[in-house]
Structures are given as C-alpha cells and as structure tokens.
Chains A and B, each alone.
Chain A
Amino acid sequence: MNRIQYLFNTKKERVLSIYFTAGFPDLEDTVPIMEAIQAGGADIIEIGVPYSDPIADGPTIQDSNLIALENGMSLKKLFDQLKGFRAKIHLPVVLMGYLNPIMQYGMEAFCKKCKEVGVDGLILPDLPMQQYQDEFKELFEEYGLFNTFLISPQTSEKRVREIDQNSNGFIYMVSAHSITGARTGISEEQIAYFERVKAMNLKNPRLIGFGISDSETFTTASNYSNGAIIGSAFIKKVKDAKNLSEDIQEYIQSVIS
C-alpha cells in the first residue's frame, strides 16, 4: 500500500505536510531535515526539487531554489542522497518539482528512481491535468506514484470534480489567489472557499497550502480540511536555524500543539 493512502486511512484530521527545498541551506541537509521533520511530529515530507524559474513561488522559495542550485543540487544528486533513506524515515515522501528538470532527467527514469528510493507521490505544479492523462498517468501508476493536483479559489466546481477523479493521495488546495509565501493569515473570503470545497464531499482528502505558518493558521485550515501544508514559513525557519534539527522539531511542535 502507498504510504500516503495508509496515512489518510489512519489519520483524517490535522495532517501536517512540511515542504523544504532540497540542497538548502546546505547541500547535504536533505536527509537530516527529513529526520527532524519526522521527529518533530509532522505527517508528510514534501521535498522541493530546485529549479531556476519557479513561476508559482514567491521570493522565499525562489531564493532557497537559487541557493540550492548554487550549492550544486540536482535531481541526480538528490536521488543519491535519498538512497537508503527508508531505513530512517517512515513518513510518506512527496517530491515537488517543475517539469523541465524532470523532463531532462527523463520521466520514466525519474519515476523508476522515485520508486527505487521510496518516494510515494509527486506534485508537479506545471503539469496540466490533460497532459498528465495523455502522457504520464500510466507511467505514474506503473511505478506506484500518487499524483497530487492543485486547485485554487478560481477553479470551477466542474474542474474540481475532474481533478478529484484524476487524483490519488490528496488534493492540494491553494488557499488564495497567490504564489507561495505571499500572504499571512486567513480571510473570510478564503473560509467561504474552504467551506464550498468541503461541502463537495470529494473522494480525496484535502490539504490546504499557501499562507499557513503557525498553530493558528494550521488549526483554522484543519477545521475545513484534513490538514495543511507549510512551505515558505518553514524555509524561513530553516534559513535562520541555529541548530537545524532542534529548531525544526521545536517549530513543528509549536504548529501541531
């Protein structure tokens, strides 16, 4: 069974997914950060594959991408680092990345490698649903990889249902009209959107991302979904960390407690 599926079978509320950029702040931090996220009590680890032109990301994640690339991070390097991580990490692991670096690596080689090292799912923000169905769906299924799509307040009900049909694992609800790290707090307008989607009774669990940074926003988001995703706020913590492992654990505990 896919670890993402297992997670949502056993936990329906307050699921916390943490995003970090592979290769940031230092090249070799990948596995230590994963261990700290697990030790801190989060439920899903989302590893960002750095890219030179991340168009859905705000300055915090952009900067972490550029620094990671300067540090020498690449997909090849990342897969080397991930070799054997399953001896230490039992949480579901999702790779988040833009299509171009994956295309250059080769989609099939990429999927194969994901399965080999123990990755459970993918979030590819610039892979449209149609292209996924036409070109990649069978491949992802062959290698047991769950694919997560995004929805936003602008997404029509019809399309949300289509996305629900084509997703497995969970649906990533972008909380507002925005790129990552652009907002803090949750407005009434956003709550209305959360309620609207909740009332649709989708088959997939929903995690809310963008604008989630602390216990309060995590709790609010969790009230309308199965949990939330923290990205930019986590990157800021990692950037300022004095003791990487301790600071990460402390931060995650402050969010979930």
Chain B
Amino acid sequence: MIRVDEKGFYGKFGGAYIPEMLHPNIEELRENWESIIATPEYQAEFQMLLKDFVGRPTPLYFATRLSEEFGAKIYLKREDLCHTGAHKVNNTVGQIILAKKLGKKRIIAETGAGQHGVATATVCALMGMECTVYMGSLDIERQKPNVERMRILGAKVVPATSGSQTLKDATNEAMRQWINNPVDTHYIIGSVVGPHPYPEMVARFQSVISEEIKWQLMEKEGRENPDAVIACVGGGSNAAGAFYHYYNTPEVRLIAVEAAGLGVFSGKSAATTALGTPGILHGSKTILMQTEDGQVVEPHSISAGLDYPGIGPVHAHLFDVGRAEFVAVEDEDAMKAGIFLSRTEGIIPAIETAHAIHALNMIEYRKDDVIVINLSGRGDKDLETYIKWGGY
C-alpha cells in the first residue's frame, strides 16, 4: 500500500527534519490542512477556481500521429493548457486558499524554472496577498521572461546567491525567510518535497490530474486504468499528481522520467535515483545526490525544472519498493523529443515535459497499450533554450 503514515513517512522516506524555529509553522499546517480542505466552503472555492480560473478539467487528448509513430494508444494529459502554462497552478490555488483560511498575510515561494513562481505570483495577485519569490541567481539569468511575468503580477523576486544559485538554493533561502517571518507568512512549496505535511499536501492538490484521467479515459476507452502513465520528475509534483490515484493499482505501470543531463555518469546530471543515496534534504528523508561525506552535489539538467538533487519522498518510496520504473533522459534526447512532439502533434512542450516524451523510446510496451503521458507544461518559457540549442 502506497500511502503516507501518521508521522509523514512513505516507507523509509519522508518525515519532518526541520529546525525547531519552524516547528510551530509545520505543526499548524499539519494539524489543520486536511480538516480545512475537507470543508464544503473550501471545496466550493477550490473547485470554482480550478474550473473558471485554471481552466480545468484539462483535456485528455488522443495523440493520433504520435500513436501511429509508436504503435500504441497514446494520450496526452494537457496540463500545459492550465492557466500560467503548467500543472503548478493546481497546487498554488489549493495552498493560497488554505493560507487565507489560516489567516496568513504574506506568501513566500521558491522557484527553479519560474513556473511555480509565476503560478504563486498569479494566485497572490488573485487574492491580493503580498508575494516574495526566491530564485537562484543563475535561474534568474536563464529564465528572464518568467522573472518579468512575476514582476508584472506584482511579486518581488529575490535572488538566492548562495551555493549553486539554482532551485536547491532558492529552497534554502525560502526556508530561511520563513524562519525569519514565522507568524504571518505561509510558504507555498512548489513540489512534493520539504517537511511533512508538504509532500502529501502538494500531491493531494496535484491529484486532480489522475482523478480526471480516470473518468476521461473511461469516456474514451471504456476503462479507468491505462497500461502505463509517464511523467517527468524533478521534485516530482506533476508525477505525483498523475500517479496518485494509481499508486495502489498495480496493473498500471508508473514510469518516472529523470533528467540525465549530459549523461548519467558524466558528472553533469540530475538523475537522482540512478546516482543518489538516502539522506536528508529540505526537511525530509529521501534519495539525493551527495558526496560520500554527505554534501549535496550540484545537479545539472538543461531544464531548470528538473535541475534538483533530490526527489520527493513518495518517489523515493516508489523507487525503493519497485512500484515505479525510473528512466533517465539526456539533454539532447529531450530537446529532440520536444521538436518531435511539436511537429507530430503541434504542441511545443516544456523541456521538462519533453523528457517524458522521449521515454517512449526507452520503455517496452505491447502494441495497442494505452499510455498516458502527463504533458506537464508548455514550451513558451523555453524558447530561448530551444533557440540556443538550435537543432531544428
């Protein structure tokens, strides 16, 4: 059975390894989040916003030409059509209503590629709440359009200048700022990482993805369960959402796609399960890339959203017990897959998502298997990377 226990563990992974200064905040969340989101009042607002603001349900699209190419029935779950361009907004809508109910006045968030930052800035604008987003200096350089989107939406973007100056450091900085402002501030974590209850809470908000896949697939194929679900994994929020209602349905294969960067063993990779070992990062026990002395290793991926040295504890558990299959896709193959999808289906995917597309070349399947790929985001934000790469 894949589920979180009372102490916040998925098997060996999870928990809340946080400084005492954050204990009251985490306790407040842990004690209240489930009861708040179960209220009819909360659900009414959440469902209304998912429908009218985010644009849900997102289509489950039968990709005709892609299916012909691969000889399987391939469906794309169109999270790229969510408002702000990726699945990230499902979680920020969920958390901002929660923050409001908890009486918080300010929101902080971390962001890598900027998608979660934009999704957070968007819901803060919607609710009239003050918003500060921490972003690695290096990511600020490589994701300029998203930085400006956040600023247009009224958010303050603060560079994280420590360490590798990417997502890991932005997360450190957001945690530090939460320690500095514990009373009136809610921290909207963007992935299924961090101390309990964040991984489960974020997964729950993202679980709308697999909830919809089930009834949409029933409509189209007369069955709730596909043969396989494929999703990319950085921290793993879109994968958690796409897998959630299939965790305990063993006939559905769960395929998690990590970023191999320049090659798993090149020293420039973000393939966490291939390279990592158990450890503690950002408040939970998980699998992470580290030296034998326990220092966290700087990852590399061409996609900023997968450029993270850990994975959510639920994914560490899925890996540990063999419930999910993990594959790693290199930068170059992901870029090619992005172009391929653009030309076969008329959809330019985010580079994160392009990794999941390439995975079709790496897994075995039978003819006419029903495969759902979670199309987590669109490629607008990545135009500059596509242009720089140039192989089209």
B199 at the interface (CB under 8 A from A): no
Task: Quote the shortest CB–CB distance from B280 to chain A (angstroms).
Answer: 5
Q: Do the beta carbons of A100 and B290 come within 8 Å of each other?
A: yes
Q: Do the beta carbons of A174 and B296 come within 8 Å of each other?
A: no
Task: Quote the shortest CB–CB distance from A86 to chain B (angstroms).
Answer: 25
B381 at the interface (CB under 8 A from A): no
B179 cross-chain contacts in A, Cβ below 8 A: 55-56, 177-179
A155 at the interface (CB under 8 A from B): yes
Task: Quote the shortest CB–CB distance from A126 to chain B (angstroms).
Answer: 5
How far, in angstroms, from A57 to B280 measured CA to CA in the complex?
17
B25 cross-chain contacts in A, Cβ below 8 A: 154
How far, in angstroms, from A229 to B88 measured CA to CA in the complex?
42
How far, in angstroms, from A105 to B17 measured CA to CA in the complex?
18
* 95-121 of chain A: CB within 8 A of chain B: 98-105
For residue B293, which residue of chain A has the nearest CB? Answer: A74
For residue A51, which residue of chain B has the nearest CB? Answer: B295
Give which listed residue, A53, A66, A101, A155, contacts B23 with CB less than 8 A: A155
A150 cross-chain contacts in B, Cβ below 8 A: 19-21
Task: Quote the shortest CB–CB distance from A7 to chain B (angstroms).
Answer: 23
Q: Looking at the complex, which of B168-176, B219-227, B345-353 is the stretch in contact with chain A?
A: B168-176
Q: Do the beta carbons of B20 and A155 come within 8 Å of each other?
A: yes
How far, in angstroms, from A125 to B19 measured CA to CA in the complex?
5
* 1-38 of chain B: CB within 8 A of chain A: 7, 15-21, 23-25
Which of A74, A100, A149, A174 has the most chain B CB within a 10 Å cutoff? A100
A152 at the interface (CB under 8 A from B): yes
For residue A125, which residue of chain B has the nearest CB? Answer: B19
For residue B26, which residue of chain A has the nearest CB? Answer: A128
How far, in angstroms, from A53 to B171 measured CA to CA in the complex?
10
Interface membership of chain B positions 264-305, coded 1 if the CB is closer than 8 angstroms to chain A and 0 otherwise = 000000000000011111110000001011111000000000
A151 cross-chain contacts in B, Cβ below 8 A: 20
How far, in angstroms, from A53 to B296 measured CA to CA in the complex?
7
Q: Do the beta carbons of A125 and B163 come within 8 Å of each other?
A: no
Q: Do the beta carbons of A69 and B15 come within 8 Å of each other?
A: no
Task: Quote the shortest CB–CB distance from A153 to chain B (angstroms).
Answer: 9
Q: Do the beta carbons of A103 and B162 come within 8 Å of each other?
A: no
Give which listed residue, B7, B282, B296, contacts A52 with CB less than 8 A: B296
Q: Do the beta carbons of B163 and A126 come within 8 Å of each other?
A: no
How many residues from A make CB contacts under 8 Å with B? 44
B176 cross-chain contacts in A, Cβ below 8 A: 55-58, 179
How far, in angstroms, from A62 to B283 measured CA to CA in the complex?
18
| Residues A131 and B294 in contact in the complex (CB < 8 Å), given A66-B162, A66-B163 | no
A103 cross-chain contacts in B, Cβ below 8 A: 278-280, 294
Q: Do the beta carbons of B293 and A104 come within 8 Å of each other?
A: yes
| Residues A127 and B293 in contact in the complex (CB < 8 Å), given A103-B279, A177-B183 | no
For residue A154, which residue of chain B has the nearest CB? Answer: B24
A53 cross-chain contacts in B, Cβ below 8 A: 163, 168, 172, 281-282, 296
B180 at the interface (CB under 8 A from A): yes
Give which listed residue, A58, A66, A177, contacts B181 with CB less than 8 A: A177
How far, in angstroms, from A103 to B162 measured CA to CA in the complex?
24
Interface membership of chain A positions 6-18, coded 1 if the CB is closer than 8 angstroms to chain B and 0 otherwise = 0000000000000
B145 at the interface (CB under 8 A from A): no
Q: Do the beta carbons of B182 and A154 come within 8 Å of each other?
A: yes
Interface membership of chain A positions 50-71, coded 1 if the CB is closer than 8 angstroms to chain B and 0 otherwise = 0111111111001000100100
B18 cross-chain contacts in A, Cβ below 8 A: 126, 128
A76 at the interface (CB under 8 A from B): yes
Task: Quote the shortest CB–CB distance from A83 to chain B (angstroms).
Answer: 18
A182 at the interface (CB under 8 A from B): yes
Give which listed residue, A59, A76, A99, A149, contacts B20 with CB less than 8 A: A149
A196 cross-chain contacts in B, Cβ below 8 A: none
* 316-355 of chain B: CB within 8 A of chain A: none
How far, in angstroms, from A76 to B17 measured CA to CA in the complex?
23
A129 cross-chain contacts in B, Cβ below 8 A: 20
Which of A51, A76, A152 has the most chain B CB within a 10 Å cutoff? A152
How far, in angstroms, from A57 to B296 measured CA to CA in the complex?
16
Which of A55, A105, A156 has the most chain B CB within a 10 Å cutoff? A55
Task: Quote the shortest CB–CB distance from B175 to chain A (angstroms).
Answer: 5
| Residues A76 and B293 in contact in the complex (CB < 8 Å), given A103-B279, A154-B183 | yes
How far, in angstroms, from A62 to B293 measured CA to CA in the complex?
18
A239 at the interface (CB under 8 A from B): no
B296 cross-chain contacts in A, Cβ below 8 A: 52-53, 100
Which of A74, A131, A179 has the most chain B CB within a 10 Å cutoff? A179
For residue B164, which residue of chain A has the nearest CB? Answer: A52
How far, in angstroms, from A177 to B22 measured CA to CA in the complex?
10
Q: Do the beta carbons of A59 and B162 come within 8 Å of each other?
A: yes
How far, in angstroms, from A48 to B163 measured CA to CA in the complex?
18
Q: What are some 5 contacts across the A-B interface (CB < 8 A)? A: A53-B296, A99-B280, A154-B21, A154-B24, A177-B181
The 10 closest A-B pairs by CB, nearest first: A104-B294, A101-B294, A150-B20, A74-B293, A56-B19, A52-B295, A154-B24, A152-B21, A52-B296, A125-B19
- Which residue numbers of A lie inside 8 Å of B, CB to CB? 51-59, 62, 66, 69, 74-76, 98-105, 125-131, 149-152, 154-156, 159, 163, 174, 177-179, 182
